[in-house]
Amino acid sequence: MALTLLFIGCGNMGAAIAGGAAAALPEARLVALDPEPERARSLLPPGSAVEIHATPEDLRISPDLILLGIKPQSFAGLAPEVLSLLAAAPVVSIMAGVPLTRLTSAIGHARVIRVMPNLPALVGAGMSLGCRAPGLADAALDALVAKVFGAIGRFDWASDEVAFETANPVFGCGPGFVFAIAEQMIRAAVAQGVSPGLADGLVRQTLFGAAKMLAEDARDAAMLKRAVSSPGGTTLAGLAVLEAPNALPALLPRTYQAAQARALELAALS
């Protein structure tokens, strides 16, 4: 029997995941619940077979898996009809800052998984990390979740929710940090006399190429760095500034710590 997946919330990320699931599970029935069906449809890949409904009363399904992709602040106001659906199937939440304890308490069972996809999932190059509710052991569910999120990039499991939250600044916030670095690289190039348009193109392709090498080359980051650094050359001269004790080696840990502290604050408020 074909699987039925229900997506509650079909915004940018929900639509990306649904589109990936449609490609990874061509025999599955994919249904989305979103109060703005036309907008949701516009976010899905052209020709997508995802069914979209505006209200829970329209649903006549028994889903095998539910993906909860609404805004965290909307969780407390879910309609009783939606809560009854959540109570009857395994649930994957991509809501930031809503811990497993609150999810399992509200849903009424422990077949709950948190997954955090990052922004590049929108272009099929995301990094998604999952964590299971304590005591949940379901190999078939694990495989299904990995297949759905593997369709929008790479997927991995955290050992528990503490490890999940600790890793979030690295991959969840990481794209924002990379974009900030790109922005500063462009500004620095322009300050050196490179035209803005050329600087933008050079930095985009440089970061893309470097990321592609990290993804596909067996060498680690340190080895790749050495490969581009000729003795006495220009790269080493720049790295001497970038890797000074009070520069990148001090700045990145502080950046991660600030993001982690804010994540803990948000979790306490949820």
Domains in the chain, number: 2
- Residue 218 and residue 93 share a domain: no
Q: List phi, psi (to 5°) of 66.
A: -120, 130
* Neighbour count for residue 94 (Cβ, 10 Å): 23
Binding residues for NADP(+), by number, are 8-13
Same domain, 198 and 165: no
Band (48; pLDDT cuts 50, 70, 90): confident
pLDDT cut 70: percent of the chain above it: 99
Domain that holds residue 238: 174-269
Asked if 185 and 146 sit in the same domain, the reply is no
Question: With 70 as the cut, is the pLDDT of residue 100 above it?
Answer: yes
Q: What is the mean pLDDT of residues 100-120?
A: 95
My answer on whether 18 and 128 are in the same domain is yes
**Confidence band of 59 (pLDDT split at 50, 70, 90):** confident
The whole-number pLDDT of residue 270 equals 65
pLDDT in tens, 76-93: 888 888 888 899 899 999
In this prediction, residues 20-47 reach a mean pLDDT of: 92
| pLDDT tops 80 at residue 1 | no
Predicted model pTM: 0.90
Write down which residue in 139, 171, 203 finishes a domain. 171
Supply the pLDDT for residue 212.
97
Query: What's the confidence (pLDDT) of residue 76?
Result: 84
Residue pointed to by tokens 């940090």: 177
Binding-site residues from annotation: 8-13
Question: Alpha carbon 248 to chain centroid distance?
Answer: 25
> Domain check: are 160 and 222 in the same one?
no
Of 125, 143, 171, the residue that ends a domain is: 171
